[in-house]
Structure 1
Amino acid sequence: MATNGKNVFLIGPGYIGLEIIDRLLENGYKVSAMTRRDDAAKELQQSGVKPVMGSLSDSSTVQQNTAANDIVIHSATADDLPSVEAVIAGIDQRANEGKHTIYIHTSGCSFLSDDSNGEYQSDMIYSDKEPRKMDARPDSASHRGIDLAIIKARNRLGTRAKIFLMLPPLIYGATKHNRLSIQMITMARFAIKHKYAGYAGQGKSVWAPIHVADLSRGYLTLLQWLENSPPQTALEHPYFFCENGQELSWSEIAAIIGDELKAKGIISDPTPKQIPESQYEDLFGMYTNVVIAQNSRNRAERLRELGWKPEHFSVRDAFRDEELPIILKDEGEFRGYAKPAASGSG
């Protein structure tokens, strides 16, 4: 496919990032992506992507490649400030040269988490057309420190750059690259190890879900809107949600896991149970309650107004048909999610 003349630098060609890359290539973008691994670089090159060798800590590499591209998408993590600061430095460099940049940063809906610990379903629903509710969240909220650094930069840059935040909820579904998400997958791996499907807290709190394929189309919808909008668009509020219109409690998610593992003969009783805190190290450690025990309700009104519509609606079908076959190929003992899954202190 002929390129459309737009160069994209993507940080984090993993679960979300590879799916975004597929959408970008389908639409004629010229893509470079940063990776640490030689084998990943080879795969990127074979798909038509220019690999950039480096890690999130390679600030000069991030800044240089940001400065060389019209569009930057950060999908590696919501919680790495140095790489974000390097992106901002590259955007500043471009702005000083009279060049405009589009930057889409991946945050996350843990930012909205309350302190329910699963005891109830909250009535608080955040809309991405009501930014004041999000701006009122405490600075200590998960991901918020990084988001605030980005918002400070966009306020300073004004119309010289379009900088926006995508906040995904519970992401599910496997990609053609056999990559998996975090929250439900960690709960499933826990269930396989401990022989029961469990939930943290009381299990009553709810999140909205989104299939990774629908999420990647959300990024493309946002990007193309930003490309075709006037400079003043940069002054609009930065938040975009992406959810499929459904919600699940954490005990309902655990029940799906239990049912499907029972059907495979992996556990004998599918009934979900409360997980004791003593076993949280096999989940998300100190961040377990933030990641899988609180309410985080949101509505993606802005994307829908731009014409985006979700196409995938069954978390159960995706778990059974896409994710579980990959999980069952795991080797070695599972010891919880190894990376920080959130940030902040409350």
Structure 2
Amino acid sequence: MSGEVPITIPKLKVFLTGGTGYIGGAILAALLRSPDFEVTTLVRSESAVETLTSPVTNPKFFTGSTPKCVLGSLSDTDLLRKLASESDIVVNCASANDLPAAEALIGGLGESGEGRKKIFVHTSGTSAFATYNGGDEAGRPFDDTENLVEILKEWDEREPYGHRTVALKVVELGKENRVSTYTIVPPMIYGQTPAIIPRLSVQLPPLIRTAIESKKAYFIGSGNAVWSNVHITDLTNLYELIIRCALSGVAKSGYDGIYFASNGEKSWKDVAYGVKEAVEALEGWDGGKVGLESWTVEDAAGIEGVNGVRDAKLAFGSNVITVPTKALELGWKPVFGGEAVIDSMKKDAVVLWKQFKGEK
């Protein structure tokens, strides 16, 4: 009928931590392209604010809204609680290990007003389920339809580990605060992030950088330990899917709300072969053939980006194979796999090679 006033549906308010990081940056870019969300993100510098909000420097991302940027850090728990209390959805990509931050975010969501959706999406990692056996195969595959909370409890009682401790606390806090919690557990992530601020992934670049510097691609022990993997674009799509399924009430939450995200697997020796191939393919590489060599955990602990022996064991020599049954049942359709990991390493190698030569 003419004269009718059009109905305007308000956007859902999303608070995102880690918006300048590898995972969070990709999710931020995806949320900004949606007409359904009004996004606030936490940043640590004025320069990051400028980059994230300037259509001049990043025009391809500004087809929709721009994020509201708030200066702060995860240690600003009062600020986190306030921002969460003003939101429908909180997506935590800044840290899998920061318990005070998780407490503030979920507590704030619990205090949000009537009509708020109160959805908390937490980012963990499959190192919480990793088994180390000197670089050899060990353990078994984990399916996200299993009782993962009980597995995490048992393991964390035996050996406390931040990823496990916080993931368990997220479930508990959600119940206490009447917040629906969803924990996404990525394996090794690869691929160039479709983010406003480009970042490299976490596990592969240190190995590639070391190969450029030493002309050797390393693996721990026999190199037969295996990790699952996922492309950053597929992972980002899963976050979007979980959020939308949470809004519609389809996705399981809380105790049953732990989701794996994987689409392929490689042994660490296969990864080393990929590193070797990526470095040898570099334009201008004059270092000859890159050797393959087994190294100790202590050696691996000494490279840039690795925080001690435990980190090296988990990041480069452990086993963790995950099966994302619940994600697939929700309709997740990952498209990257197979040799996409090698292609990604080649692209990462180009970036790291330029850094090594002092180029921008």
* Same-fold status (TM-score > 0.5): yes
Q: Secondary structure at the match of 1:52?
A: strand
Compute the displacement of 1:35 (Å).
Answer: 0.4
1:245-302: CA deviation from partner (whole Å, max 9, x where unpaired): x110011101100112122225433342112324521152221011110001101111
Task: Tell me the distance in 2 between the aligned counterparts of 1:165 and 1:33.
Answer: 19
Q: Secondary structure at the match of 1:223?
A: helix
Match of 2:118 in 1: 101
Task: Tell me the distance in 2 between the aligned counterparts of 1:129 and 1:228.
Answer: 20
Residue 35 of structure 1 is aligned with which of 37, 40, 43?
A: 43
Within 5 A, what are the aligned runs for 1:106-117? 106-117=123-134
Match of 2:181 in 1: 163
Q: In 2 relative to 1, CA 184–4 (structure 1 residues): closer, same or farther, beyond 3 Å?
A: farther
Match of 1:292 in 2: 316
CA contact (8 A) 1:15 1:181 kept: yes
| TM-score, scaled relative to structure 1 | 0.87
Task: Tell me the distance in 2 between the aligned counterparts of 1:262 and 1:3.
Answer: 54
Residue 262 of structure 1 is aligned with which of 280, 285, 291?
A: 280
Match of 1:317 in 2: 343
Question: Which of the pair has more CA radius of gyration?
Answer: 2
Compute the displacement of 1:66 (Å).
Answer: 0.5
Compute the displacement of 1:137 (Å).
Answer: 4.3
1:281 counterpart letter in structure 2: G
Match of 1:282 in 2: 303
Between 75-84 and 248-257, report the one with greater CA deviation. 75-84
Match of 1:11 in 2: 17
1:130-183: CA deviation from partner (whole Å, max 9, x where unpaired): 1246345411245111112212112323xx321111100000011244211110
Residue 268 of structure 2 is aligned with which of 235, 242, 250?
A: 250
Q: Secondary structure at the match of 1:143?
A: helix
CA contact (8 A) 2:131 2:139 kept: no
Q: In 2 relative to 1, CA 258–51 (structure 1 residues): closer, same or farther, beyond 3 Å?
A: same
Q: In 2 relative to 1, CA 142–298 (structure 1 residues): closer, same or farther, beyond 3 Å?
A: farther
2:13 counterpart letter in structure 1: N
2:27 counterpart letter in structure 1: I
Unaligned residue ranges in structure 2 (runs of 5+): 1-7, 55-61
| TM-score, scaled relative to structure 2 | 0.84
Match of 2:58 in 1: none
CA contact (8 A) 1:258 1:267 kept: no
1:111 counterpart letter in structure 2: A
Q: Secondary structure at the match of 2:90?
A: strand
Between 161-170 and 86-95, report the one with greater CA deviation. 86-95
Q: How many percent of aligned residue pairs carry the same amino acid? A: 28
Residue 191 of structure 2 is aligned with which of 158, 173, 178?
A: 173
Task: Tell me the distance in 1 between the aligned counterparts of 2:168 and 2:31.
Answer: 27
CA contact (8 A) 1:124 1:297 kept: yes
Q: In 2 relative to 1, CA 125–155 (structure 1 residues): closer, same or farther, beyond 3 Å?
A: same
Residue 331 of structure 2 is aligned with which of 303, 307, 322?
A: 307
Task: Tell me the distance in 2 between the aligned counterparts of 1:291 and 1:3.
Answer: 45
Task: Tell me the distance in 1 between the aligned counterparts of 2:267 and 2:213.
Answer: 22
2:327 counterpart letter in structure 1: L
CA contact (8 A) 1:255 1:270 kept: no
1:171-204: CA deviation from partner (whole Å, max 9, x where unpaired): 0011244211110111111212222111123311
Within 5 A, what are the aligned runs for 1:208-219? 208-219=228-239
Q: Secondary structure at the match of 2:262?
A: coil
Task: Tell me the distance in 1 between the aligned counterparts of 2:293 and 2:254.
Answer: 47
Q: Secondary structure at the match of 1:330?
A: helix
Task: Tell me the distance in 1 between the aligned counterparts of 2:164 and 2:335.
Answer: 30
Compute the displacement of 1:243 (Å).
Answer: 0.9
Compute the displacement of 1:221 (Å).
Answer: 0.5
| Residues 1:327 and 2:332 are matched in the alignment | no
Between 233-242 and 302-311, report the one with greater CA deviation. 233-242
Task: Tell me the distance in 2 between the aligned counterparts of 1:124 and 1:136.
Answer: 18
Compute the displacement of 1:233 (Å).
Answer: 4.4
| Residues 1:149 and 2:169 are matched in the alignment | yes
Q: Secondary structure at the match of 2:354?
A: coil
Q: Secondary structure at the match of 1:324?
A: helix
CA contact (8 A) 1:261 1:267 kept: no
| Residues 1:138 and 2:162 are matched in the alignment | no
